[in-house]
A and B are shown apart, each in its own frame.
Chain A
Amino acid sequence: MLALVAGGVALTSCEDKLDIAQKASLTTATFYQSDEDAAKALASAYEQFQCNTMGRAMGPGIYTPARVLANHPGDDVNYGGSMYGDHEFGGSVDEFRFKHTPEAIDYHYKGLYLSIFPDNLVIENFDGVEGETQFQKQAVAEARVLRAYNFFLLACYWGQPPFIDHSITMAETPTNSEMTQQQYFVWVGDECMKAADDLLERQSTADKEGAYRITKGFAWAMAGKAYMFAGEFGKAKDCLKKVIDSGKYALVSGDEWMDLFHIEGDGAPEKVFEVNVRYNPGAGEWSTGSGLGWNQHSTWMEPQCFQIRTGYFKKPPLNTYNGGVEGWGSIGLPEWYAAAFVANDGLDSKRLKSTMVNIEDLIYGTTGIESIDTYYSKLKNIPKDRAGLAKWDKIGISEIAGHYGQSFWIPIKHVIRAADASEGDNKYGNVHRLNNIIIMRYAEVLLNYAECCIRTGAASEAGDYIRMIQERAGSKTVLSGTPTIIDLKKEKSFELWFEGCRYQDIMRWSKLDNDSYDNEALDHMKVQGKHIPHLVDRVFRDPKDYPGDEDRVWQHSADGSDKEDRFYLYHTHEAQDAGYQVGWQEKHRLFPYPQQVMEMNPNIVQNPGW
C-alpha cells in the first residue's frame, strides 16, 4: 500500500513550480525610455561597430575579418607567412581559392549583422516617439549612418543581402532583399542624407573628437561614396562638395602623412570618421565582443601579423621601430605594384617612403627612418660600401625557404610603432595596438570627388584636387593638364593602399569602364596564387645549390651578376599544385553567403557561380 502511494507521488510533476519571474533586471520593455537610455543604447551600437571593424565577436584571433575582406582580394596585396598553409585565412581569400566557408567571410557576414542589431534598436525605440528630444534625434541619426555603412559593405560584398531594418526574431526567416545592389547603394546614400540634419558637426580641423563619432561630414562623405557606387555621379558630387565646403577637414602635410596611421595622427584634420581606440584596464587579455569593451587580443595579434616575419632574419630590423613586437609576415606587396609605385612616385616621395621600404634599405639600415636604422648602426665592423654589405653575413635573411609572399619592397604603412602600443608613454606591458581605426579620411573624399567631376564633365576641377594629393605626397608625377579617369585610378591606388578601397573599386570600375587599366588589374587577380614570390638572401641561400628554383628575379641585374645583388626571389604555386583552383573568376565579383547561413535558412538564394 505504501509502495503504491509512494509510486503515485513519484509520478506527479512539479513543472509549474519552475515558472518564476526574474527579479531586479531591466527588460526591453522598461529600457529605451530616457536620454540616458538613448546614450547607452547608442554607445552599444558604436561598440558593436568597433568590434566588427577592428576585431570580431566570435572570439579573439590574429586577424580582423573586416580588413581581410576589404584588402586581401585586391591585386595590391599578397598574403604571406611562414610557408604555404600558414595564415590560411588570408591565403584562401587572397588567391580566390575559397568555396563557401572561409572563416573570414563567415565571421564578417555575421559581424555586420551583429553590428546592425544595436543600430536597429536605437532607431526603432527612439525614432519618432512621443516626446522625442533633440539628443534622441541625434542618437537615431548616428545609428542610421552606422547601419547604412554596414549595409554598404554588405551590398558591396554580397549583392542583395537580407534587408534588416528592425529587430527580428528567429520566427522571421530572412530572405534576400528585393533591392538590387545598385538600389542598395542609393538607399545608403539616402539614409545618410536623411540623418545629416540631426547630426553634430565637427567644429574645426583642430577638433579631434569631432572625428571619433558620426558627424555631418561623415554622413555627407558616405552618401557621396554610396551614390558614386550607385552610378549617380551628380548627386555624389553635390554631397562630397558639402564636405569640402564645410572647411572642417584638411589634408595634413607630406611629413605628417605617415602619422595618420599611428597614434600621433588620432583626430588629425584629415580624419573624417575613425573608431576611437582606448586601452581598457578592466578587460582581460582575451576579452571579446561587447559587454567587455572591445577585442583587445586582436589588437595585439593583428600587428604581429602585419609585420614582416621577425624569425626569418639574422637580425630583426624592426625591433626598435615597433618596440619589440614579433612579426609573422601575413602581408606582402606584389611585384607589379611596388614597381608601379616607384615608377609613379619616385624614390623621394614621402608617401612612398611611408608605405614601403626596399629590403636592402631595411637590412642595411638606410631607410631614413631613425628607429629602423639605429639598430643597424650599433653593429661592429660594418662594411664600407653596398658591394661589401651584399656579402656580409652578420645581417640578412637567414631562413632558406625565404619570406613567403614578399617581394623586394616590404610594406611599412601599417606596421605598428612602439608608441602605438602604449598611448605614448609606455604604460602597458603587452602589446595592444591603440591608434584609431580609420573609416574614412579626407584624401578619399577628394579622390571620390575628383572621380565624380571627371564623370560629369568637370575634369579640370578634378585636376586641382588630384594635384593637391600628388603634391602633398611628394610624388614626382604631378598632372599638368586635365586628368583622365585612369590618372585618377592610379592616384587612388597609391594613396589608399590597404585602406579598403582597391578591391571594391576594381569590381566597380571593371563593370563601368572596362578600360585597359581595369583589365590589367583583373589580369593581376587572375594569376594570384600561380606565382608566389619567396624573398631570399644569396649569402644564406646560394642560388647554385637550388637549380630547381622557378623564375628567379634579381633587383639590379637579370642574372644576379651585379655586385650589389644580394636578395632575390623565386616563385612557387603550392596551392595550385595541391589541386586547388586559384585566381580570380567572374563569380568572385560577389562573395558567397556563408555555408552555415545556407544550411540554416532555405530562403536565401546563393550568389551566382557559388
Chain B
Amino acid sequence: MNILSGYKYNPTIGLGGYYVYNDVATGGGVQEGGAPNGAANPDLTWETSEQVDFGIDARFLDNRLSFTLDWYRKMTKDLLVDINPYPEVGVSTITVNSGEILNTGVDIEVGWRDHVGDFKYSINANFSPLKNEVQAVNELLPRYTQGGISGFNQKVKSTFEAGHTIWYFRGFDYLGVYSQSSYGMVGDKEFNAANEGRPIYGGMVPDLNADGSQKVDAEGNALTKWGAVFAPNEDTDMVDLGSGIPKFTYGVTLNLEWKGFDLTVFGTGASGNKIYNLMVSADRPRVNGLNTWWLDSWRKDESGNYTIQGKYPDMNYVAKDWVFFSSSANVFSGSYFKFKQIQLGYTIPQSITKKFMVSNLRLSVSLDDYFTITSYPGADPETSSFDNGASRGWDNGNYPTSKKVVFGLNLTF
C-alpha cells in the first residue's frame, strides 16, 4: 500500500486498478492490478528561490512628505513541473526540474500630508511596475500548457515558455478583414471579391522569389516566411498574445478633512494585463454572450454589398469558428482604473452630541466600486482573472463586483 505518494523521484507500485476476466453470473473474477505510479527521476532536486530586496524609507519636510521605494528581484530555479515525458516511456506524467523564472519589480509609494488652516489633506499614491519572465526551461519540454477553462473547444492555451511572461496566451494573430484595401496582405495580385469580408490571420507562407518561384534552402526544402493567411495552422502560426499579469499596478488615496467633513477617494488600477474572453461560444453562436464583434463587423445590405465595414469580419464567416475566437480578436486589454471607494462623511460636532451622551457620531455615504475606467467589453476586468496561476486572465463570465452605495452611521458612547 502506498501511504505517502509525494515522493516523485522514486515512484512506488500502486495497487487498485483491475481487470475483470469473468461475467457477473460466474462470480465476478475481478483481478486487482499493480503498476508503478510513475517513472523515476533520480535527477530530481529541490526548487530554490533567491530573492534580493533593496529599499529606502524616507520622510522629509517634517514628516509631510513620505517616500518609500522597494526594489526586488526574485529568481526561482528548478521549478518542479509535471510534464509529459516521451510517450515511449509509458507514463503520462513525470516530475522534472524545469524553468527559471525571474520576477522583478519596484514598489514606489509617495505620500504628502499637510494642512492649510482647518483644511487637512493627504495624498498617497503607489506605483508598482513588475516584470515577470521565464528565462529557461527544461530542454525536454520547451513549451507546455496548463490551466485555462475546460469544456470549450478554444485553441488558446496558457503557455509556459522561455523568453515570455509566465502563462502567456498563445493564439492566432488576427490581422483584419480581407477587402479592397487589404487584399495585398494575403499576397493576392488582384482583389478577389469572393473573399471579401473574411478574416485574415498571421501565418507562415511560402517564401517566393520575385518571379513567383519557390525559394529553397541548401537541401532543397521549401522556405517559408511570416505573412498573412485565411486558415492559420495551429503548429506554426500561433503567437504570444499577452498575459494576464499586468505591467504595472497603481493606486491613489486622497483624504480631505474640513470642519467635520471628510472625503476619501481611493482607487486602484492595473495596466498591461490582457484578458481572454470566453463569454462566447463558437459551438453555440446564439448563446447570450458578448456582442462586441457583432456591433463592429462587416455587414451586407439586401443587394449583397458590404455597406457597413468595421474592425471585425462578416460574422457569417466567424460566428461558428473557434479559430477567430482563439485569436487576438478575442484577447482584450484588461487595463482598468477603479474608484474603489468615494466616501463622504460628516462628524457631528462633539458639542452637540455630548448632550446625548454620545461622544462621537459620524454619518457617511460611500460609493463603493462605483466607477471603472476601462475599455474592456466584458463584465469586470478586476474579477476577470479566473483563478490564479495558469488560469489568470481567463474570463468565463465571473460575477462582476457589484456597485454599492453604503450609508454609514458610527456611534461611540
- B19 & A46 in contact (Cβ 8 Å cutoff): yes
Q: Write the chain A residue with the least CB distance to B195.
A: A579
Q: Write the chain A residue with the least CB distance to B194.
A: A577
A1-58: which have CB < 8 Å to B? 15, 18, 22-28, 31, 37, 39-44, 46-48, 50, 57-58
- A173 & B23 in contact (Cβ 8 Å cutoff): no
Q: Write the chain B residue with the least CB distance to A208.
A: B23
A88–B383 Cα distance when bound, in Å, is 32
Contacts of B24 in A (CB 8 A): 278, 423
- B84 & A110 in contact (Cβ 8 Å cutoff): yes
Stretch of A530-538, A563-571, A591-599 at the chain-chain interface: A591-599
- A278 & B33 in contact (Cβ 8 Å cutoff): no
Size of interface on A: residues with Cβ below 8 Å to B: 73
- B140 & A600 in contact (Cβ 8 Å cutoff): yes
Interface string of B147-163 (1 = CB under 8 A from A): 00000010000000000
Is B192's CB within 8 Å of the partner chain A? no
Contacts known (A101-B235, A113-B87, A118-B35); A57 close to B92, Cβ less than 8 A: yes
- B90 & A39 in contact (Cβ 8 Å cutoff): no
Contacts of A23 in B (CB 8 A): 3-4
- A85 & B321 in contact (Cβ 8 Å cutoff): yes
Is A157's CB within 8 Å of the partner chain B? no
- B88 & A25 in contact (Cβ 8 Å cutoff): no
Is B143's CB within 8 Å of the partner chain A? yes
Is A232's CB within 8 Å of the partner chain B? no
Interface string of B337-362 (1 = CB under 8 A from A): 00000000000000000000000000
Interface of A: prevailing SS: loop
- A47 & B321 in contact (Cβ 8 Å cutoff): no
Is A168's CB within 8 Å of the partner chain B? yes
Stretch of B7-15, B61-69, B211-219, B261-269 at the chain-chain interface: B7-15
Stretch of B36-44, B102-110, B368-376 at the chain-chain interface: B36-44
Taking each of A50, A117, A167, A174, which has the highest tally of chain B beta carbons within 10 Å of its own beta carbon? Answer: A117
- B19 & A84 in contact (Cβ 8 Å cutoff): no
A599–B138 Cα distance when bound, in Å, is 12
Stretch of A284-292, A373-381, A444-452, A514-522 at the chain-chain interface: A284-292
- A31 & B34 in contact (Cβ 8 Å cutoff): yes
Is B233's CB within 8 Å of the partner chain A? yes
Please tell me which one of the listed residues B18, B94, B140, B322 contacts residue A43 in the complex, with CB atoms under 8 A apart. B18
- B12 & A27 in contact (Cβ 8 Å cutoff): yes
Is A100's CB within 8 Å of the partner chain B? yes
- A26 & B86 in contact (Cβ 8 Å cutoff): no
Is A312's CB within 8 Å of the partner chain B? no
CB distance from B25 to the nearest CB of A (A): 9
CB distance from B50 to the nearest CB of A (A): 13
- A82 & B19 in contact (Cβ 8 Å cutoff): no
- B233 & A292 in contact (Cβ 8 Å cutoff): no
Contacts known (A27-B10, A212-B22); A113 close to B90, Cβ less than 8 A: yes
CB distance from B299 to the nearest CB of A (A): 18
A482-515: which have CB < 8 Å to B? none
Is A601's CB within 8 Å of the partner chain B? yes
- A28 & B35 in contact (Cβ 8 Å cutoff): no
Contacts of A599 in B (CB 8 A): 141-143
Interface string of B316-343 (1 = CB under 8 A from A): 0100111100000000000000000000
Interface string of B78-103 (1 = CB under 8 A from A): 00000011111111101010000000
Is B288's CB within 8 Å of the partner chain A? no
A594–B234 Cα distance when bound, in Å, is 12
Is B278's CB within 8 Å of the partner chain A? no
- B23 & A266 in contact (Cβ 8 Å cutoff): yes
Size of interface on B: residues with Cβ below 8 Å to A: 60
A41–B33 Cα distance when bound, in Å, is 6
Taking each of B90, B140, B322, which has the highest tally of chain A beta carbons within 10 Å of its own beta carbon? Answer: B90
Is B292's CB within 8 Å of the partner chain A? no
- A43 & B23 in contact (Cβ 8 Å cutoff): no
Is A336's CB within 8 Å of the partner chain B? no
Is B231's CB within 8 Å of the partner chain A? yes
A292–B32 Cα distance when bound, in Å, is 11
- B283 & A86 in contact (Cβ 8 Å cutoff): yes
A31–B84 Cα distance when bound, in Å, is 25
Q: Write the chain A residue with the least CB distance to B4.
A: A22
CB distance from A78 to the nearest CB of B (A): 18
Contacts known (A44-B17, A44-B35, A290-B17); A118 close to B88, Cβ less than 8 A: no
Taking each of B7, B17, B84, which has the highest tally of chain A beta carbons within 10 Å of its own beta carbon? Answer: B17
- A24 & B23 in contact (Cβ 8 Å cutoff): no
- B23 & A25 in contact (Cβ 8 Å cutoff): no
- B87 & A110 in contact (Cβ 8 Å cutoff): yes
- A170 & B34 in contact (Cβ 8 Å cutoff): no
Interface of B: prevailing SS: loop
Is B410's CB within 8 Å of the partner chain A? no
- B90 & A276 in contact (Cβ 8 Å cutoff): no
Is A267's CB within 8 Å of the partner chain B? yes
A200–B342 Cα distance when bound, in Å, is 82
A39–B142 Cα distance when bound, in Å, is 39
Contacts known (A44-B35, A266-B23); A26 close to B13, Cβ less than 8 A: yes
Interface string of A268-307 (1 = CB under 8 A from B): 0000000010100000000001111100000000000000
Is A114's CB within 8 Å of the partner chain B? yes
- A44 & B1 in contact (Cβ 8 Å cutoff): no
Is A558's CB within 8 Å of the partner chain B? no
- A43 & B88 in contact (Cβ 8 Å cutoff): no
A100–B238 Cα distance when bound, in Å, is 14
- B87 & A121 in contact (Cβ 8 Å cutoff): no
Contacts of B221 in A (CB 8 A): none
A293–B2 Cα distance when bound, in Å, is 17
Please tell me which one of the listed residues A24, A101, A601 contacts residue B86 in the complex, with CB atoms under 8 A apart. A601
Contacts known (A168-B89, A208-B23, A289-B92); A99 close to B233, Cβ less than 8 A: yes
Contacts known (A25-B4, A46-B19, A600-B141); A170 close to B33, Cβ less than 8 A: no
- A24 & B20 in contact (Cβ 8 Å cutoff): no
Is B21's CB within 8 Å of the partner chain A? yes
- A84 & B320 in contact (Cβ 8 Å cutoff): yes
Taking each of B13, B21, B26, B31, which has the highest tally of chain A beta carbons within 10 Å of its own beta carbon? Answer: B13
B161-175: which have CB < 8 Å to A? none
Is B220's CB within 8 Å of the partner chain A? no
Q: Write the chain A residue with the least CB distance to B28.
A: A278
- B21 & A212 in contact (Cβ 8 Å cutoff): yes
Please tell me which one of the listed residues A27, A99, A600 contacts residue B235 in the complex, with CB atoms under 8 A apart. A99
Please tell me which one of the listed residues B20, B46, B153 contacts residue A278 in the complex, with CB atoms under 8 A apart. B20
A191-236: which have CB < 8 Å to B? 208-209, 212-213
Is A162's CB within 8 Å of the partner chain B? yes
Taking each of B92, B140, B233, B282, which has the highest tally of chain A beta carbons within 10 Å of its own beta carbon? Answer: B92
- A578 & B17 in contact (Cβ 8 Å cutoff): no
Contacts of A84 in B (CB 8 A): 320
- A164 & B88 in contact (Cβ 8 Å cutoff): yes
Contacts of A85 in B (CB 8 A): 153, 282-283, 320-322
Contacts of A278 in B (CB 8 A): 20, 24
A48–B21 Cα distance when bound, in Å, is 14
CB distance from A214 to the nearest CB of B (A): 11
Is A109's CB within 8 Å of the partner chain B? yes
Contacts known (A120-B90, A170-B89, A212-B21); A291 close to B32, Cβ less than 8 A: no
Contacts of A47 in B (CB 8 A): 17-19, 33
Is B275's CB within 8 Å of the partner chain A? no
Interface on A for B, CB 8 Å cutoff?
Answer: 15, 18, 22-28, 31, 37, 39-44, 46-48, 50, 57-58, 82-86, 88, 99-101, 109-110, 113-114, 116-118, 120-121, 162, 164, 167-170, 173-174, 208-209, 212-213, 266-267, 276, 278, 289-293, 423, 578-580, 594-597, 599-601
| Apart from A15-B46, A276-B22, 11 more pairs, CB < 8 Å | A22-B10, A23-B3, A42-B31, A85-B320, A101-B235, A113-B88, A118-B35, A164-B88, A169-B89, A276-B19, A600-B141
Q: Give 7 A-B contacts (CB < 8 Å), ordered by A residue.
A: A39-B31, A41-B33, A113-B87, A121-B35, A212-B22, A278-B24, A579-B229
Closest 9 CB pairs of A and B: A117-B90, A579-B231, A579-B230, A40-B34, A44-B33, A43-B33, A44-B35, A46-B19, A26-B13
